[in-house]
Structure 1
Amino acid sequence: MNEIYTLPLLISIATFILTTHITPGPTNIILLSSVLNFGYKKTLPFIIANIISYPLMMSLTAFGLGLFLIEHPTIMLILKISGIMYLCYMAWKIATNRSSYESQKNIQSKPFTFVQGLVYPFLNPKAWIVYTSIISIYVTSIDVRFFQIGIIVLFIFISMIITTYLWSFGGIALKKLLKDERFIKKLNITMAILLIISILPILF
């Protein structure tokens, strides 16, 4: 292992990747909202999709797709516009969700699907840039690059498991604590606004 990475460098990679994924961002805000409104079981397909999509995205980045996108501004612009529009749509779905209240009006929203969780991370140009940076910083040797890429992808996989379950636990805890449906409605609107704010780094 020392020939591939030193222990301090492994710790550095693990810390950077976990910090990048566990901090508040679009994925975690959507996840928290889904668990709060629909429960853990109905959110599980979305959780599994995210655990799959990010390591897959890193794998594609490592083999040149991320650099290709960065080197073609027009494609990145299309990706940026598509990503912003899609995240705005998700924010709208969160803000207008009625699954936890107005039950007397029989209004039932649906949780985000497996396909949505699998696709939307690929529409985030910031993620492509961050992942390309990770590859450029932490892939340090041509001779063992495949092993190094494998370790990075594994760390992202583990990081996504930790991240999704911690944020899911937060949603479960909120669901148990919050019984006032009017407050949940306001909380949904707040999370939708936070999701819109999280789009700002994509714009700039």
Structure 2
Amino acid sequence: MTPEIFAALTTFALVTVITPGPNNLMLMTSGANFGLRRSLPHMFGIGLGFPAMVLMVGMGVTRLFDLWPASYTVLKILSVAYMLYLAWKIAHAAAPKDAQAGGRPLSFLQAAAFQWVNPKAWSMALSAITLYAAGRDVFAVLWVAGAYVMCSILSTTSWTLLGQQMRSILHNPARLRVFNWVMAAVLVASLVPVLMQ
């Protein structure tokens, strides 16, 4: 991969991971409710789980859709159901003091597994592989996954810190409740393009 193509790939990866989407909304909410330290497993789950998904897509997992077209519908149903479940959890998240006692952010495995039912993640992975590793060359796929690891560090940290900084505004339980309900509604709204397809 030439330096020019890698620069284009890195720009593409950064723009796709740092723009609002389900992962970033959940990280901001986790930062607001649990802080940076407790959100680290969630951050690492996204930061490593999505590049792992890119590797699998680059190595041909998407052929499953060609072999069994109903699998796309199954994935869509699971995605919507899980996103609605997460929106419900976000809407009902406890205030920070209560959250420290009983609530907890997504674990590493939960966040990594979420990538497989995240419509934005599928779109990003398919686009990145199509644009920057069209021949499915192993090294090109590894470069794409590596670019996403690098850009995810910046993105996951930024969104979680943004949420953590909002804690000073959200120290009032009523404000936090409104914030969580708005974030849940935005997460549900992100499903509209998926459902319209």
TM, length-normalised to structure 1 = 0.87
Aligned residues: 195
In structure 2, do the counterparts of structure 1 residues 182 and 74 end up closer, same or farther at CA, with 3 Å as the change threshold? same
Bigger Cα displacement from structure 2, 124-133 vs 172-181: 124-133
User: Does the CA contact (< 8 Å) of 1:51 and 1:161 recur in 2?
Assistant: yes
Structure 1 residues 125 and 181, CA gap change in structure 2 (3 angstroms): closer
Give, in angstroms, the shift of residue 78 of structure 1.
Answer: 0.4
Cα distance in structure 1, aligned partners of 2:101 and 2:154? 33
Counterpart pick for 1:27 among 17, 20, 23:
23
Match of 1:136 among 130, 140, 145: 130
2:163 corresponds to: 171
Q: 1:14/1:71 Cα in 2 relative to 1: closer, same or farther (>3 Å)?
A: farther
Unpaired runs of 5+ residues, structure 2, are none
Contact 1:83/1:125 (8 A) holds in 2? yes
1:99 CA displacement: 3.2
Alignment of structure 1 residues 1-204 onto 2, 5 Å: 4-5=1-2, 7-69=3-65, 72-100=68-96, 108-139=102-133, 145-203=137-195, 204=197
Deviation string 1:122-142 (CA, Å, 9 cap, x unpaired) is 123553343223222212567
In the alignment, is the contact (CA less than 8 A) between 1:99 and 1:109 conserved in 2? no
Equivalent-residue separation in structure 1 for 2:69 and 2:123 (angstroms): 12
Contact kept? 1:66, 1:128, Cα under 8 Å: no
Task: Name the Cα RMSD after superposition.
Answer: 2.1
For normalisation by structure 2, the TM-score amounts to 0.89
Deviation at 1:71, TM superposition (A): 5.8
Counting aligned pairs with the same residue, the percent is 28
Q: Distance in 1 between matches of 2:124 and 2:146?
A: 17
1:117 Cα deviation from its structure 2 partner: 0.5
- Deviating beyond 3 angstroms after TM superposition, the runs of 4 or more aligned structure 1 residues are none
Gaps of 5+ in 1: none
